Structure 1
Amino acid sequence: MVQMTSFLLVLSLALVAAGQAARKCVLIGNWTNDLGSTMEIKAVNEEGSFNGTYNTSVSATSNKIVPSPLQGYQNCKKESSQPTFGFTVNWNFSDSITVFTGQCFVDKKGKEVLKTMWLLRSHVDNITDDWKATSVGTNIFTRRLPQKV
């Protein structure tokens, strides 16, 4: 009886681990990053194209911050449960643009996480200021759960 119970426990753990490993990370939905910025990614088509909106919580401008459009692509290889992706945000409130690239992961607890790196290109008035026009950084996004009403 003890051997059978041990066997069933090992089998259950293996099935749980296999189920978590096979869980696909999905870009579609609402996300928040480590700085409090939010984005919504809408449907990803068969070619991997998607769009959405990005609302930043950080900015160097004195202009009113409004949500900005994003456009991107996901690698849609069927065997990839943790796809790579990239998207561009065209900021509505400034003369700058940001490109993000990253990968969608499912962590050990089953949570989806987007690990990203970005380049922000700001407008400068002349080529001698080009050296200060590009910033680089990283962000980690987690899925935002629906608000309870």
Structure 2
Amino acid sequence: MRTITVLFSLLCLYQISTSDGKQQKCDLRGQWRNELGSNMTVESMNNAGFFRGSYMTAVTTQNEMVVKVSPLSGFLNINGKSTVFGFLVKWSFVESVTSWVGQCFVDSNGVEHLETMWLLRGKAQSAGDDWAQTRVGKNVFHRIQ
């Protein structure tokens, strides 16, 4: 009886120690959409955490602009169970780049979402115009099923 109690206790401890593991490691590969309707696709990731993909924005500052898919590249911090990442998009249709940093979270139902902050830099026409060419914002991405 004592052996069964010990085995049961060990099993309970294992479940407790891995239940925190329900905060599953997020897999960034796949398709994601943010609250503004922009789509991000992470196509590949290597063992060092470097990834590549594409981004299709639903937002522009200019009307009637022809928006094209733009390349993205980034890194996932793969040390331990980290889900912290950053990526950069070089826009294909305008002289500007945007960088995102964020973290992936997994809720109790296993649903992933990415909480991010972004910094967009546009081209200034002159040094006097430089002050207006950096924007900051926040996006939340959800996996497209």
TM-score normalised to the size of structure 2? Answer: 0.83
Aligned runs of 1:95-110 on 2, under 5 Å? 95-110=95-110
Distance in 1 (CA, whole Å) between partners of 2:23 and 2:83 is: 13
Long gaps (5+) in structure 1: 1-10
What residue is the counterpart of 1:65 in the other structure? 67
1:8 — aligned with what? none
Asked if the contact 1:23–1:106 (Cα under 8 Å) also holds between the matched residues in 2, the reply is yes
Distance (Å, rounded) in 2 between the aligned partners of 1:103 and 1:26: 11
Tell me by how many angstroms 1:109 deviates.
2.4
Matching residue of 1:92:
92
For residues 105 and 20 of structure 2, what CA distance do their matches in structure 1 show? 15
Corresponding residue for residue 6 of structure 1? none
**Do the aligned partners of 1:20 and 1:110 also contact (CA within 8 Å) in 2?**
no
Q: Per the alignment, in what secondary structure is the counterpart of residue 42 of structure 1?
A: strand
Runs of 4+ in 1 over 3 A off after TM superposition: none
The offset of 1:63, in angstroms, is 2.2
Q: Does 1:118 align with 2:129?
A: no
The CA distance in 1 between the partners of 2:23 and 2:123, in whole Å, is 44
- Are positions 1:74 and 2:80 aligned together? no
Residue by residue, what CA displacement relative to the aligned partner does 1:77-103 show, whole Å, maximum 9, x if unpaired? 1x21x5100000000010111000000
Partner of residue 18, structure 1 = 19
| TM-score normalized with structure 1 length | 0.81
